[in-house]
Structure 1
């Protein structure tokens, strides 16, 4: 049986599991509101169906993996999905397979199936230790990912029931042990669905790269993918900000504080300011009545980090976070971990080709890298979306003393 047939069987089995997981989640939510909504038999049937579907999916995956390992396209090679602790031999195996892809891209075409989300359909899967190194590099390139909530997922689609942080109420204190415990507030849940997307990039490698060492090739790949990943994920995160329900326009010094403290007090801890470079430069020059700058260097942090009223000030280049309109800068304040969740599939992969026009004309090899994630706005009231053209300095308001000699 060919690889594509087995691959499609795995995909179909995975979809059945996802559908049953979604049905189970819907039933769980419904049972909270109405415990008699479903019978015990109906609940047990869904659980049994999900268990059976999961076994079928795992069996289909095992069948595909075995067939892939024995296929002619990867003859005498181990499977490309590397698991376990990072080892030098695994790095070497990955680089050796990558070199073979550069030399003979057509050998690997059967490993790629367009429009699927499975690990097998991605070409050569980047091993875990290389992905870890990429994540470490990403932190050096002004990544916004650390600001938001990141959840690792293993399926293409899914959903989460979310309760807004600011809406959680405290429990009742008991003053009389002979009284019944009062019934508490039921959480106001909101369902968030994610749908993992493929984010792809093509770059070109000189064929002389084949002569490099394994470490040099890994470093070259990791650096390029890390830079692209930061820009891609930053862009996806920033695209969520217009969905914030709280809006503000800033014009004077006190508007900054009014905007910041319009946020629910429960969300202030961990909140920060985000703007672009032009906005940061404009804010950096604003002074209070005593002539001190509104934004101060954060002495508790190393490097050139700044804070405003104890909250970090973060800025990105105008290229990635442009002005709202000509001369009008963005000003976001809030708790981004409550605002946005990034669902990370953690499945980076690469494929190669020598048949693109640029690759053929320049004697290069085209390399396509793909990563898989989705971003969703969770609590749209956790951030205030503001804008400003200029913030006027705070006006000095010192009353003249009776003993102050008259000028003249």
Structure 2
């Protein structure tokens, strides 16, 4: 017998006894039993609720109802592939494409835009759906990307401007009741940007593309991700390369770069960006007691810090050591670099380009632009070493 049943039996027995006393005219005795009846009722209700909760915890949680979740993902991928390759959709696919709340998008820019002709599939292209973009993001994680440090914003046009911070040393204006506000009292700036197209032509075997359910991003994603990040890094390093460089001689001069050269406003978000040669130089730095100054981050695997600041290491191929000078950038990349991106990744196809190879040429394009925003946020340095 469950405990709740036992408590219910006790409650019923007290209630019956009260009824008997009332019928016998012994009202006083019946009244004295009311607290016992109330306690028995409360105990029964509490136990009943506990047993319901235990039963709910014991039963497996019901899976959320997702209407054709897997099928929708496969269908969206299939429709994307067919649109890119110029294969007609069947009736089921057409119905899904019309009904889908997030259909594959066609890139149809304004007439006259170079390389964008809406009526020509080989030039227009289609935006990669979200499921395949997730695959591309996974590939990107394998490479070191300066974009992860930048201030990334989505642009709605190929060019434009946005308001930006003015002089960080400015002060608030004192507004008196009848004081005229001068134009010089307003401290603001405009950051102009321009979006450019960056792409790659990737040959793919026709046999691979014969399966309508194949993931195109699984085939070309790794190559495109690597080239994409290389291009983004190159553009960001181009901005940083315009900074005047000072010399670092030892760990004390690097500490001075952080503590004195860099404005305290940027200290919290500061990082040290260098290449493999720079990382080696940092790993050899020791204090007066021969203790290494480059220490591993206990919370993040394969990450090192100098005086608490993360070391962001690029390959020597990406960020070269030139004329025996190792490049260093110290500061907040997020305040210095404004990264404007538009649309996503677009894929178009041409089967004529590689006709003699029995292959299909896929053109993958991303659109972005980088602009130097707060030019005081990063300082450039170099370390002169004797190269072997």
Aligned to 1:370: 365
Within 5 A, what are the aligned runs for 1:65-76? none
Normalising by structure 2, we get a TM-score of 0.66
Within 5 A, what are the aligned runs for 1:3-402? 87-100=73-86, 115-116=113-114, 120=118, 122-164=124-166, 166-169=168-171, 186-212=185-211, 214-244=213-243, 247-261=245-259, 262-301=261-300, 303-323=301-321, 325-356=322-353, 359-390=354-385
1:340–1:161 Cα change, 3 Å: same
For the aligned residue pairs, the C-alpha RMSD in angstroms reads: 3.1
Moved over 4 A (4+): 110-115, 117-121, 179-185
How far does residue 292 in structure 1 lie from its aligned partner after superposition? 1.4
1:270–1:168 Cα change, 3 Å: farther
1:348 & 1:119 partners in 2: Cα distance? Answer: 17
Contact 2:81-2:212 within 8 A present in 1 as well = no
1:188 & 1:226 partners in 2: Cα distance? Answer: 40
Contact 2:136-2:217 within 8 A present in 1 as well = no
1:165–1:145 Cα change, 3 Å: farther
2:267 & 2:219 partners in 1: Cα distance? Answer: 41
1:194–1:119 Cα change, 3 Å: farther
Unaligned segments of structure 1, at least 5 residues? 1-85, 102-109, 173-178, 392-408
Q: Which moved more, 1:212-221 or 1:261-270?
A: 212-221
Contact 2:278-2:327 within 8 A present in 1 as well = yes
How far does residue 116 in structure 1 lie from its aligned partner after superposition? 3.6
Contact 1:95-1:218 within 8 A present in 2 as well = no
Contact 2:202-2:220 within 8 A present in 1 as well = no
When Rg is computed on C-alpha atoms for both structures, the one with the higher figure is: 2
Contact 1:166-1:267 within 8 A present in 2 as well = no
1:96 & 1:87 partners in 2: Cα distance? Answer: 14
Contact 1:165-1:338 within 8 A present in 2 as well = no
1:161–1:297 Cα change, 3 Å: same
Q: Secondary structure at the match of 2:311?
A: strand
Aligned length: 288
2:185 & 2:138 partners in 1: Cα distance? Answer: 41
1:88-113 alpha-carbon deviations (Å, 9 max, x no partner)? 32111002223447xxxxxxxx9898
How far does residue 215 in structure 1 lie from its aligned partner after superposition? 4.4
1:135–1:165 Cα change, 3 Å: farther
2:295 & 2:264 partners in 1: Cα distance? Answer: 23
Normalising by structure 1, we get a TM-score of 0.63
Q: Secondary structure at the match of 2:249?
A: strand
